Amino acid sequence: MAGIVLSGSCSSRLLLRDREAGSNGASLAQYNGLRAVDTMHLPSSRTPKLSCSGPKCRTIRAMASPTVSAPKRETDPKKRIVITGMGLVSVFGSDIDNFYNKLLEGESGITQIDKFDATNYSVRFAGQIRDFSSKGYIDGKNDRRLDDCWRYCLVAGRRALDEANLGSEALEKLDKTRIGVLVGTGMGGLTAFSNGVEALIQKGYKKITPFFIPYSITNMGSALLAIDTGLMGPNYSISTACATANYCFYAAANHIRRGEADIMVAGGTEAAVMPTGIGGFIACRALSQRNDEPKRASRPWDKHRDGFVMGEGCGVLIMESLDHAMQRGANIIAEYLGGAVTCDAHHMTDPRSDGLGVSSCISKSLEDAGVNYVNAHATSTLAGDLAEVNAIKMVFKNTSEIKMNGTKSMIGHGLGAAGGLEAIATVKAITTGWLHPTINQDNLEPEVTIDTVPNVKKQHEVNVAISNSFGFGGHNSVVVFAPFKP
């Protein structure tokens, strides 16, 4: 939801805005992972002035974009970061191949809510997870106590470790102080929190469970996963609304590149399909109200979109230095090239329409980097969808070779988990050579001239992919993946 930073495959200072969360000033993304060379600032005399009207607007100065030549990939194997495992919990289950096959088929996971009685709610559908099982990952007693947010995290995290051949026996042979966990969440243990408040109001403070605070706070996913696996490296959570998972990938990569960890378990988790979550976003007027045809409700870039559809789940990547992965003979799935994060510093939720700071020199640097696939934020909101497209068009001079799709059209908006699930979809696009469709593309906005892979999957060799996530508060993030090349 907020503004964009496209540091894509990227240069050291790249800025891109999405109208879905607005900005009054231009924040420049910090370098991460790709070396930019010959940076030159434009003279201040060429800095334009912009003004706006309205009670909260003021005259602002737009910073001229720096000229950046094409970036070079990191070459130090201790700083190159590869993906060696992935794990998820989704509306299509917990098997990654099944998840991506469902996406390729264009199947919608959006259904009527039955997790609670939503009869009197103005929105009665979501990307609700059904038939979830934690068997083999969480013992029965803890499973009954835990908020779904943490159950999803533990299962997805353990499955990612298993895919990376980092099960219990393998971990015992490694230095666990150099393996960290960074799984964030936008909302935290929302059911645990709501139940605690309800107990307080209805029965008094003495009836509040002692698990109320521990299972509500946002750091508990990372903590529980570390406790479960004995991982003693960097451990915390990040909460930047719907940009959370990408922020976690970005920070996790920095821990590896600074030499503080060899492996990071990173991603995002969320379980907000419950009364407070649905009710809260109804109050924000953010959700689609297409109750009569929920599977057609999430329709990024379509003229008849009317808001996003709530989703839930968890997506986790095992990020590892190339040097460490090769030493232990790990299977390398893809490479993480870099990323960027910025803040709009403008408004809690409101978007802005301009692409402040974007210039042709940034466009050139991104084109030279070979980006030809964008997994878009694409929430199916009126302002944000077009803003993202327009901003991308400002950065890329020629979009004829670029494909762009919206995973949320099928699974809904997973909030803090969205970037995690979409990162996995992005990596699968790289490894399979197939892009999933953006479904419900019936009447595309005329401004959308980029190929959105409408309704039917397409074969496409991905050179470099970017995955966008933006959050309330103006939090912007982009992460960049590519096929692994030794």
Which residues, 6 or more positions from 252, have their beta carbon under 8 angstroms from its beta carbon?
180, 182, 261, 264, 266, 319
Is the Cα torsion angle 213, 217, 219, 221 positive or negative in sign? positive
Could you report the per-residue pLDDT of 419-429, keeping only the tens digit for each?
Answer: 999 999 999 99
Q: Length of the chain, please?
A: 486
Residue 413: DSSP 8-state: B
Could you report the per-residue pLDDT of 127-172, keeping only the tens digit for each?
Answer: 999 999 999 999 888 899 999 999 999 999 999 999 999 999 999 9
| Selection from 327, 465, 481, 476 nearest residue 15 by Cα | 476
Burial of 214 (0-12, 13-18, 19+ CB in 10 A): middle
Split into its structural domains, the chain has a count of 1
Q: Residue 49: inside a domain, yes or no?
A: no
Can you say how many angstroms the Cα of residue 211 is from the centroid of all Cα atoms in its chain? 28
Q: Residue 59: inside a domain, yes or no?
A: no
Across 250-264, 340-354, 448-462, least confident range: 340-354
Q: Residue 254: inside a domain, yes or no?
A: yes
The residues that bridge with 314 in the sheet, in sequence order, are 89, 269
- Identify whether 413 is a catalytic site residue: yes
- Identify whether 475 is a catalytic site residue: no
DSSP 164-195: TT--HHHHHTS-GGGEEEEEE-SS-SHHHHHH
Q: Residue 6: inside a domain, yes or no?
A: no
pLDDT grade, residue 306 (50/70/90)? very high
Q: Residue 288: inside a domain, yes or no?
A: yes
Check 413, 436, 460, 475 and give the catalytic one. Answer: 413
Could you report the per-residue pLDDT of 238-297, keeping only the tens digit for each?
Answer: 999 999 999 999 999 999 999 999 999 999 999 999 999 999 999 999 999 999 999 999
Strand pairing class (475-482; 464-471):
antiparallel
Query: What three-state secondary structure class fits 90?
Result: strand
Q: Residue 428: inside a domain, yes or no?
A: yes
Residue 55 CB-half CA count within 13 A: 1
Check 10, 242, 314, 343 and give the catalytic one. Answer: 242
Could you report the per-residue pLDDT of 357-388, keeping only the tens digit for each?
Answer: 222 222 333 444 688 999 999 999 998 898 88
Query: Which domain range does residue 427 map to?
Result: 81-483
DSSP 182-244: EEE-SS-SHHHHHHHHHHHHHH-GGGS-TTTTTTTSTTHHHHHHHHHHT--SSB-----GGGH
Q: What's the pLDDT at 349?
A: 59
Query: 158 versus 7: which is more confidently predicted?
Result: 158
Q: Residue 142: inside a domain, yes or no?
A: yes
∠ at Cα 365 (450, 26), nearest 5°?
A: 85
Q: What's the pLDDT at 130?
A: 95
- Identify whether 149 is a catalytic site residue: no
CATH number for the domain spanning 281: value is: 3.40.47.10
Query: What three-state secondary structure class fits 179?
Result: strand
Strand pairing class (81-89; 72-73):
unpaired
Tokens representing residue 117 in the block: 């009685």
d(CA 424, CA 468): 13
Q: Is residue 181 within 8 Å of 153, Cβ to Cβ?
A: no
Q: What's the pLDDT at 38?
A: 36
Query: What three-state secondary structure class fits 160?
Result: helix
The residues that bridge with 476 in the sheet, in sequence order, are 342, 470
d(CA 103, CA 466): 18
Can you say how many angstroms the Cα of residue 5 is from the centroid of all Cα atoms in its chain? 13
| Selection from 344, 342, 340 nearest residue 60 by Cα | 344
Q: What's the pLDDT at 26?
A: 34
Segments of 68-124 assigned E as strands: 72-73, 81-89, 111-112
**What is the pLDDT averaged over residues 101-105?**
98
pLDDT at 42 over 70: no
Q: What is the mean pLDDT of the chain?
A: 84
Q: Which amino acid is at 43?
A: P
Which residues, 6 or more positions from 474, have their beta carbon under 8 angstroms from its beta carbon?
2, 3, 21, 22, 23, 343, 344, 345, 346, 347
Check 255, 346, 347, 377 and give the catalytic one. Answer: 377
Share of the chain above pLDDT 70, in %: 80
